Amino acid sequence: MEPKRTSGRRGSLIGAGFFARNHLEAWRDLAPQGVRLEGICDRDTARAEEAAQRFGSRPFASAEAMLEAIRPDFVDIATTPPSHRPLVELCAPHVRLVICQKPLAEGIEDARAMVAACEAAGAVLLVHENFRWQKPFRRMIELLESGTIGRARFLRLTFRHGFDIYAGQPYLRTTPRLAIMDVGVHLFDLARRLMGEAAAVSCETRRLNPGVAGEDAFCALVAHADGGVSVTEVSFSSRYHPDPFPQTLALLEGDAGTIELRADYRLVVHDGTGRREENVEPAVPRWGARPWHAVQDSVLAFQRHALAVLDGTEAPQPSGADNLRTLALCLAAYESADGGRRVTLDPPPAPHRSDTNSQVGLNQGGVP
C-alpha cells in the first residue's frame, strides 16, 4: 500500500445518486480553494459516467480500482447505510479523511467498527450531518455560545410536511426504519449540539402512510445530562399550505432568553435587551433553487468545514466517535417506541483522542 500524502486536496466520491448531486456541485464550487474530485464511483456505470463527464472527473465502477488509480487525500461516501461499513473499512487505509453520509450505520457495532478502522489507519472520520450546518442553526449556535440566552433549558425541533420524499428516493418506501433514521438522526445530532449529551429518551412512532414500510412520524422527549429537555417532532404526512418542507422550525429557551426559528427563516431573539428579529435565509447557491437552498447551502458549508478538517485547522463536527452517541440515541428511541417505556442511555465514555482528531494528526496523516 502506498503511503498517504501529508498534504493535498484530491478527492473522490462514492455514490452518484439522488443527493450526491449536491455534493458534486458543492465540491465544484470549492475548486478555487484547490480541491478537485479526481474520481466518481457508482455501481451503476452509466450514472458514474454521466456524473464524471458533467463534473470533469473519471468514472469508476469499483471503489478499489478508484483508490488504486487516484490515491485521493479524501473520500466522500454518499451511499445508503448498508454499504457504509465495508466502504469505510476499505477506504480508511488509503486516505487521510473519510466523509460518510448519515446515518453512520444501521447498528452500533458496525458504527464502532468504522470508527475503529479509521483510528487504526490514521484517518479522520467525519459524518455528513448537514442540519447543524444550515445557516439558521449556525446562527442559533453562535447566539447560544455567546451567552445571549444564558444556559439552554428547553429545545423543540419540528420537521413536519407532506412533501413527496419518495419520488426522488423510492427505496425509502421499503425501509423498515424510516423517519428516525432519515431525518431524526439529523435532529438528534442538532439537539446534542445545542443541549449537550442525551441521558434518556421516550419516543412514540406512527405509520400514517399505509404505502410505506417504516414509521413516517415520531415524537421524542429527550432528557439531557445537564438537566435540559428537548422535544423532536417529525412527520412526513402532515398537510400545510404552503408546505414548509424542507424547513426545520425550532424553539430554544435559556435561563436568560429565548430564540425562535420561525417559517420563512425568521429568527426571533428575546433577551435582556428586548425582542429583535433577524432574517437568516441563506443565499441560493449558483446551482441551487428554492425551496432546497437551505439544504444546498448547508452542504457547501459542511464541505468547507471538511476542507478545514483536512488541513488540520478545525476539529471534525461531528467526528465518527461523536456520532456514535447520536446513533445510540436513534436506536434508543426505537427501543422506547417498541417497548412503550423510557430508555436510559449509557453515559459517554471518557474523552478519547479520536473524538477530537488533533490538527497535528491530520497534517501528519495519522492520529498521534
pLDDT digits (tens, 9 = 90+) for 163-182: 999 999 999 999 999 999 99
Give the pLDDT confidence score for residue 352 in this predicted structure.
53
Mean pLDDT of 252-260: 98
Tell me the pTM: 0.92
pLDDT in tens, 281-322: 999 999 999 999 999 999 999 999 999 999 999 999 999 999
**C-alpha cell of residue 294:** 437551505
Q: What is the CA radius of gyration of the chain?
A: 20
3-state secondary structure of 224: strand
Mean pLDDT of 329-339: 98
User: Which are the contacts of 156, defined by CB distance < 8 A and separation ≥ 6?
Assistant: 230, 231, 232, 233, 250, 251
Q: How does residue 8 score in pLDDT terms, banded at 50, 70 and 90?
A: confident
Q: Which domains does the chain have, with CATH numbers?
A: 10-128 (3.40.50.720), 132-280+320-344 (3.30.360.10)
3-state secondary structure of 183: helix
CA 300/CA 63 separation, integer angstroms: 24
Identify which of 278, 304, 29, 306 has the alpha carbon closest to the alpha carbon of residue 140: 278
Q: Which helix (H) or strand (E) covers residue 315, if one does? A: none
> Which residue(s) pair with 204 in the sheet?
219
CA quadruple 251, 252, 253, 257: dihedral sign: negative
Provide the percentage of residues in the chain whose pLDDT is more than 70.
Answer: 93
